[in-house]
Structure 1
């Protein structure tokens, strides 16, 4: 009985201190020390705490050709009128980002695919890319309207009022948001996620 009580206490404690991640998107209103003030897309005022070693990256336009063969990318796509998946954005990602294909929350009914581009072919309306990930493969149309970006190293000086951000932030035990990485717009190019 005592063992069961200890086990239940351990589970309750670990659940209470469990941290979750959230995707934060919005417009910077201010940077005060290590706290980034953001107006979220839904109008909420958010305080995003920056880790001491937080990485800042800026969005920069690129092309599929510049990304090169076998590029590791994230693609947000939606089903087109003909049933094909159509990319809304393609962005370069680092090897630490897990491969996946699943629902995404940047636009209604969107999917995110993190995978390697294994082929590119001309198609009606643009280029069709084949993305291969550990559990499968997706063919997605990249149109001339699709945003294609990469990220380049930035600094906290890039975190200026009016710029847009994306961050996969951690929710701390006290409910505050903590960011280890922030993607920020620069020269009119926004982080597309």
Structure 2
């Protein structure tokens, strides 16, 4: 009986070691990006070549139903009570989230991604899409109270914070040198595709 138990145990131990090794290898692989921020280097048919902000060369296959929107600069004063906005915030020194960018959605995009969630722009950053309920203008920016379906948040918007909005764009805007944010998906063959791209207008780098 001891010999038989050993005979069965050895393969199980070997299988467990292989499984553990595989899990370790998977854990060491970098996570697939969901967003690529960078500069267009070239466009070849449906393949977009982008130099990412971190210096990587990324090729993206654009899907036939890809959505393209432009990002244009506006003024901090364009943020009004009732505006539906998105803002990336980081913890402020006084405990109030501080905006590092704000994008004002046009009316037809109201409700897009409503809520608050972790974001990948900066360490410890959060993306909040919500309606401006209160806006107090100060000497060095705005203090906003924004409300969304699951809660509310106070946000400090310094005067130097970039503020942008969405404008129409088409594939003719995809030119070398343009700054983009591409929302990506990794395919089984290891390549990446994108079905949504935000492109800066007039040389603007999308701040979100």
TM-score normalised by structure 2 residue count: 0.76
How far 1:80 moved relative to its partner? 2.1
**Which residue of structure 2 lines up, in the alignment, with residue 182 of structure 1?**
197
Per-residue CA deviations over 1:22-74 (Å, capped at 9, x if unaligned) read: 11111111011111101112221111111123222221111354354322211
Query: Secondary structure of the residue that 1:191 maps to in structure 2?
Result: coil
Query: Secondary structure of the residue that 1:46 maps to in structure 2?
Result: strand
**Which residue of structure 2 lines up, in the alignment, with residue 144 of structure 1?**
159
**Which residue of structure 2 lines up, in the alignment, with residue 159 of structure 1?**
174
How far 1:176 moved relative to its partner? 2.4
Q: Is the 8 A contact 1:58 1:191 kept in 2?
A: no
How far 1:124 moved relative to its partner? 5.7
- For structure 2, the residue ranges without an aligned partner over 5 or more in a row are 1-31
The root-mean-square deviation of aligned C-alpha atoms, in Å, is 2.0
**Which residue of structure 1 lines up, in the alignment, with residue 143 of structure 2?**
128
Q: Structure 1 residues 53 and 67, CA, compared in 2 at 3 Å: closer, same or farther?
A: farther
Distance 1:21 1:97 in 2: 21
Q: Is the 8 A contact 2:90 2:124 kept in 1?
A: yes
Q: Does 1:92 align with 2:107?
A: no
**Which residue of structure 2 lines up, in the alignment, with residue 16 of structure 1?**
none
Query: Secondary structure of the residue that 2:34 maps to in structure 1?
Result: strand
Please list, as runs of the form range in 1=range in 2, the aligned pairs for 1:23-34 lying within 5 A after superposition: 23-34=35-46
- For structure 1, the residue ranges without an aligned partner over 5 or more in a row are 1-19
Distance 2:193 2:83 in 1: 29
How far 1:96 moved relative to its partner? 6.0
Structure 1 or 2: more helix by fraction: 2
Per-residue CA deviations over 1:80-131 (Å, capped at 9, x if unaligned) read: 2222211110013424632221221112221111111111112463111111
> Aligned pairs, how many?
174
Q: Is the 8 A contact 2:41 2:50 kept in 1?
A: yes
Query: Secondary structure of the residue that 1:122 maps to in structure 2?
Result: strand
Structure 1 or 2: more strand by fraction: 1
Structure with greater Cα Rg: 2
